[in-house]
Structures are given as C-alpha cells and as structure tokens.
C-alpha cells in the first residue's frame, strides 16, 4: 500500500517539529558528522526527493592514536572508533537532519617509570546527538544545528593518578552547543570539476558549573573530480582553531597526583584541548545507483600548533591532531 503525500508530510512534521526550536538558532552542524577533522561527502549523497523522502548516511571513523607527538608525550595512547548515523529529510523547503553518534575508545597508559602501574580501559557509549537544518540563501548554503548533551560525561577512568583523565575522552561533553556556518559551491553544470569552501563554528551555550568545552572554528575547502559517471575523487583541506576547555573540577584529594600538586584539576591535561591544526584529506566515492553511494577518506594533520606547550621542547598531540580513516554509505529511501 502506498503512503499518501499528506500522510508522509504529516509523519515528517511529527518527527522534526521538536527539532525546529533548537535549529532555529542559526547554528551550523557539519554535514558529515565530523571527528574534529571534517571531511565532506555532501556532493556524493543521494538527493532527497518526493519519491525518496529520506536519506540515511552511516559513517565509520577510525583513529589509531598509537603514538602521540612522535612519542614525545606518550603517557597514554589509544584507538578510537566512531559510528555516526545521520537521517535527512525535507520540510518547509529545507533539509533537516538528525545525527546520532556511537563512541568507542580503547585506552592504555604507557608509564615507563620503575614500579609504575599501567591501565587499560574501554569506553563505549552514545555520543552527543546533533539536530539541525540546511538551506539555500543568496547562492550559499547555510547550515544550522544544536548539539545536545546526550553522551555520558562522568565515566570514571581506570587510572587513579589521572593518566587517562582527559575530559575530551568522555563520550559526551555535558554541554549544549550551537553550530553555525556557511558554504559556497562552485562548478559549471555538466563539468567534471566541482569545488566548495565553507566556514564553520561551534560553541557552548549551556554547560555545568565546572566544565565548558572550548569553542571550535574551522575553514575548509575542497575540489572534486568525476573520473566516470559513478566514480569520483576528492581532495580537501581544513584549518581548525580549537580554544582550550575551561575546567575547574578537582581531583580526589587522596590520590598521589593531588597530594603532589594540589592546584591541579581532575583533568589537568586540558591544555591539550587547544590548538591550531592544518589538515588535508583525500577520498574516493562511488555511486552504485541513483539511491546509494559509498565513500572512503583519509585525513592527515600537516601542522599542529598547541598554544600552551608541555615544555620548552615538547608539544602535545591531542585526539584531533591524529590521522583519521572515514568510511561511509549513503542511501535514499
């Protein structure tokens, strides 16, 4: 039995009416569900249509953080796997989306001191859900969204002395963020070449009294070339400025670290969260048909500048300055 247009529209309205209040804030959500370094597959996604009113994009990002800053700051290391499902539809002439991430981290300390105890821990959970909209304006594409505090932010890390206690390793930030940005696409109709440039920002508007994640701003650009009707190659670059997290939480006073340095916070490595990163990404995409496409990207940081060095000779290498493999599948239905 076919669903009538009115019934379909009513269903979409019911699904997304609760999103409108949050998305109205003119915030921008990255259209690709990014992991700090954002690669963009928007040009390769199937389009929403009356015959196929929904698009589902499932993306898997893998970060192998097995060596930090060429081993100059290797107190811990880990591997991170993020799976993000994004559903898009159209309502009122705009594209609306809901992104739900799953976060999985495998963390290990790497202490070399005599008698030191090393720890292993796996963190798995729902991340922070993003809701938002995308619409055309004067030749540009404006993106708007809100990231909600749905991910856990109070997991107790295994290392009592804080080796794994980085707040950014929690599945969620515990904050409500608005995301805002604008995008411009180039390329003549029928040309094998297309380009884009986009500016994005994310900032917290509500957080707990002791912790607020730092604001992130990024500038990205990319070029895409159609090798065949179904096969395309992309090259993208990004410049990301991430400001440091604000944190006033305290350690357990009985731990060795607190006794040795009572002024340190529970996440005393929050200096790692700030920096300026220049990255490049290369990718391939393939359309299996009008309704389905797949993509593979590799992102690599080229230059990382942390504005608070660990010492005179050592810079930190946080999660967002690590190579990322991204594999995704998009399908309209």
Predicted pLDDT at 155: 85
* Sequence ranges of the domains in the chain: 5-332
Cα separation, 234 vs 299, in Å, equals: 12
| Structure-token pair, residue 300 | 């690599």
Strands 292-305, 275-287: pairing kind:
antiparallel
Instruction: Output 284-290 pairs: Cβ under 8 A, ≥24 positions apart.
Output: 284/231, 284/232, 284/233, 284/234, 285/41, 285/44, 285/231, 285/232, 285/233, 285/234, 286/230, 286/231, 286/232, 287/44, 287/229, 287/230, 287/231, 288/230, 290/46, 290/332
How many CB atoms neighbour CB 212 within 10 A? 20
Q: What's residue 100's pLDDT?
A: 97
Residue 304's alpha-carbon distances to 159, 315, 318, in angstroms, are: 27, 9, 9
The alpha-helical segments, DSSP class H, found in the chain are 5-23, 256-260
Q: Name the residue among 170, 167, 169, 196 with its Cα closest to residue 181.
A: 196
Q: In sequence order, which residues have a C-beta less than 8 Å from that of residue 146 and are 6 or more positions away?
A: 22, 23, 25, 27, 29, 130, 131, 132, 176, 177, 178, 179
Superfamily of domain 5-332: monomeric porin ompg (2.40.160.40)
CB-based contact 233:283 (threshold 8 Å): yes
Position 18 scores a pLDDT of 32
What pLDDT is recorded for position 157? 78
Q: What is the pTM of this model?
A: 0.80
Query: Which residue positions in the chain have pLDDT lower than 70?
Result: 1-38, 66-75, 160-165, 249-272, 307-321
Nearest Cα residue to 209 out of 258, 269, 257, 249:
249
Write down the pLDDT at residue 257: 52
| Closest by Cα among 133, 65, 135 to 99 | 133
pLDDT tens, position by position, 163-184: 666 777 889 999 999 999 999 9
DSSP classification of residue 189: T
Q: CA–CA distance from 91 to each of 23, 98, 106, 233, 314 (Å)? A: 13, 13, 40, 31, 51
pLDDT at 302: 86
């Amino acid at each position: 039995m076919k669903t009538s247009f009115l019934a379909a529209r009513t269903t979409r309205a019911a699904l997304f009416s609760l999103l409108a209040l949050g998305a109205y804030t003119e915030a921008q959500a990255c259209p690709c569900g990014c992991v700090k370094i954002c690669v963009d597959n928007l040009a390769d996604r199937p389009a929403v249509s009356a015959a196929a009113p929904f698009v589902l994009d499932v993306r898997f990002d893998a970060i192998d953080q097995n060596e930090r800053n060429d081993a100059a700051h290797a107190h811990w290391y880990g591997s991170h796997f993020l799976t993000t499902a994004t559903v898009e539809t159209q309502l009122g002439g705009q594209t609306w989306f809901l992104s739900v991430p799953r976060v999985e981290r495998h963390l290990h300390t790497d202490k070399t001191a005599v008698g030191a105890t090393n720890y292993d821990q796996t963190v798995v959970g729902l991340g922070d859900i993003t809701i938002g909209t995308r619409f055309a304006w004067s030749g540009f594409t404006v993106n708007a969204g809100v990231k909600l505090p749905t991910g856990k932010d109070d997991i107790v890390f295994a290392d009592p002395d804080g080796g794994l206690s980085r707040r950014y390793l929690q599945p969620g930030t515990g904050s409500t963020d608005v995301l805002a940005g604008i995008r411009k696409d180039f390329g003549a109709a029928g040309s094998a070449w297309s380009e884009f440039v986009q500016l994005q920002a994310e900032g917290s508007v509500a957080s707990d009294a002791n912790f607020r994640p730092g604001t992130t701003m990024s500038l990205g650009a990319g070029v895409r070339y159609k090798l065949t009707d179904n096969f395309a190659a992309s090259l993208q670059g990004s410049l990301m400025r991430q400001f440091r997290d604000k944190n006033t939480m305290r350690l357990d006073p009985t731990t060795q670290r607190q006794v040795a340095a009572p002024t340190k916070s529970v996440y005393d490595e929050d200096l790692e969260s700030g920096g300026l990163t220049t990255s490049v990404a290369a990718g391939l995409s393939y359309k299996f048909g009008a309704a389905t496409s797949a993509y593979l990207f590799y992102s690599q940081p080229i230059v990382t500048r942390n504005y608070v060095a660990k010492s005179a000779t050592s810079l930190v290498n946080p999660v967002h300055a690590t190579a990322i493999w991204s594999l995704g599948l998009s399908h309209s239905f």
